[in-house]
Structure 1
Amino acid sequence: MNGRLIAIGDIHGYNVPLQTLLQAIAPTENDIIVALGDYVDRGPDSKGVIDTLIQWGQKTQIVALMGNHEEMMLDVVRGLEPHHAWLKFGGIETLDSYHFNGDLDFLPPEHLEFFDSLGDYFVHDDFFFTHAAYDPHLSLEEQPVDMLRWYSLREGIPERHMSGRVAVVGHTANPDAQIVDVGHLICLDTKCYGGGLLTAMELPSKRIWQSTPEGVLL
């Protein structure tokens, strides 16, 4: 039995609206929920967001992608990069949610397992999903990681991907909390962390669920 395909934009530590959307969507074991990355940083409850995604992953199919904020956090946790840049872009709020006490080994084992499971892209039917963007002239297997996780659509929206599929991305927050839909690309980052909305979209119908940061379903 075929289920629904639903993508959720950048969550950034806002667990209350995430729970609001998931309860409204009420996904079943046949549905696929694609989380587009940036679960942590900036918002008040990054730890709670990961707990929620893990819990719902026992009821439905959660496909979670790696965002640039997860990359920053994991690079610090693994001792690959200094902490300064991460803290500047919301890491302090993440550490607070985990009750950080000075030990970088603060992630519970089940959260480490979740972060280790994150992919760079996901393909389903006529759609593909990445956190940030893509190079239209390269196959998904050949995509540079910086393009998948860091590229801002403000630098220009890439043309249709060579596969012909529609891209669904996050990362580039719309200050007006509007979905960007140019036909071959849809961006679902409606800036929940900046007073906007958290957005989920069913595909291909484009049915929308949105919540305020306080958890009010629109």
Structure 2
Amino acid sequence: MRKFFMTDIHGDLEGLKLLLKKAEVQLGRDQLVFGGDMINRGADSAGVVKLIKHLMEQYPDNVHAVIGNHEEMMADYLVQGDKLWLSHGGRETLKSFAARFPDEGVRQEHMMWACSLPLYYEDGEYVYTHAGLNPGQPLEQQDRDILWMNEHDFYHQPRAELLALTGGKPVIHGHTPVERIYWDGARMNCDLGSNTYSVPDERALGLINLTEMTYLVYKQAGKKLEERRVGRY
């Protein structure tokens, strides 16, 4: 079984489909984990949610997803009326869901599904989460604030403490856009800045092959595909 990870898609349905096809992911045999922030900023947030939900239902043993801070903001808007989400792409995301799901019941079902995903997923090798983990809290009791943890804080945590929390399993995550993916033995940030990174030409979506420690990069501005190897430090 090969293991793949994709995070911070931010509405790029085209890139998502292209990368899965290019990598020849076989979901009947391979594992695929999504790291949250499926929505906002891109052209088809609803399409991304629809596809991931469908894949999880079709391959429940092999396809998994965790919640990101953008889904958390959507939940706060839907449940509490918190308007913070609207200024971070929420207005466009609402239009996307309305266009793809004219039936309000189906639309609400998909939105609430995205809001109800877990904070983390773990297998025999890794722990997957959106932004980071707090070594001061048991894994199963992590505070929801971890969805907003910045890379500086997460990477200043001692590796030994983090690995003690996870039982020795490295953490695979996203949330903070980077241009290259590096691996320090305890953490790997896989957010390549899809529809988000400050340099438009460097905005990209990545599909990480954790089995081979390589990744495919889809650069959205030029619609180019690249293959790279995960760096180590």
TM-score range, shorter chain: 0.7 to 0.9
**Are 2:185 and 1:183 equivalent residues in the alignment?**
yes
**Counterpart residue identity of residue 194, structure 2:** C
String of CA shifts for 1:136-190, please: whole Å, max 9, x gaps: 243311221112x11011335123221221110111112xx22142221000011
1:19 matched residue in structure 2: 17
In 2, Cα distance between the equivalents of 1:70 and 1:120?
11
In the alignment, which of 142, 154, 163 is matched to residue 152 of structure 2?
154
In 2, Cα distance between the equivalents of 1:62 and 1:110?
19
* Helix, strand or coil at the partner of 1:210: strand
String of CA shifts for 1:85-105, please: whole Å, max 9, x gaps: 1111111221221237xxxx6
In 1, Cα distance between the equivalents of 2:22 and 2:194?
17
1:73 matched residue in structure 2: 74
Q: Any gaps of 5 or more consecutive residues in structure 1?
A: none
Contact 1:98–1:107 (CA under 8 A) maintained in structure 2: no
1:97 matched residue in structure 2: 96
- Give, in angstroms, the shift of residue 129 of structure 1: 0.6
The alpha-carbon distance between structure 1 residues 116 and 87, as it changes in their structure 2 partners (threshold 3 A), is closer
**Are 2:173 and 1:169 equivalent residues in the alignment?**
yes
**Counterpart residue identity of residue 54, structure 1:** K
Sequence identity (%): 29
- Give, in angstroms, the shift of residue 8 of structure 1: 0.4
* Segment of structure 1 superposing worse, 150-159 or 69-78: 150-159
1:55 matched residue in structure 2: 54
String of CA shifts for 1:11-68, please: whole Å, max 9, x gaps: 0111111111111232231222110000011111101111221333325722010101
Q: Any gaps of 5 or more consecutive residues in structure 2?
A: 227-233
In 1, Cα distance between the equivalents of 2:50 and 2:177?
24
- 1:10-49 paired onto structure 2 within 5 Å: 10-25=8-23, 26-49=25-48
Structure whose residues are more often helix by fraction: 2
- What is the RMSD computed on CA atoms of the aligned residues? 2.3
- Give, in angstroms, the shift of residue 112 of structure 1: 4.1
Contact 1:199–1:210 (CA under 8 A) maintained in structure 2: yes
In 2, Cα distance between the equivalents of 1:107 and 1:183?
42
**Counterpart residue identity of residue 199, structure 1:** G
1:82 matched residue in structure 2: 82
* Helix, strand or coil at the partner of 1:200: strand
Contact 2:133–2:154 (CA under 8 A) maintained in structure 1: no
The alignment covers a number of residue pairs equal to 208
* Helix, strand or coil at the partner of 1:168: strand
The alpha-carbon distance between structure 1 residues 30 and 116, as it changes in their structure 2 partners (threshold 3 A), is farther
**Counterpart residue identity of residue 82, structure 2:** P
Q: Structure 1-normalised TM-score?
A: 0.85
The alpha-carbon distance between structure 1 residues 59 and 164, as it changes in their structure 2 partners (threshold 3 A), is closer
**Counterpart residue identity of residue 75, structure 2:** L
- Give, in angstroms, the shift of residue 106 of structure 1: 7.5
Contact 1:136–1:159 (CA under 8 A) maintained in structure 2: no
**Counterpart residue identity of residue 176, structure 2:** T
- 1:130-141 paired onto structure 2 within 5 Å: 130-141=129-140
* Helix, strand or coil at the partner of 1:97: helix
Contact 2:170–2:185 (CA under 8 A) maintained in structure 1: yes
The alpha-carbon distance between structure 1 residues 142 and 128, as it changes in their structure 2 partners (threshold 3 A), is same
- Give, in angstroms, the shift of residue 133 of structure 1: 0.3
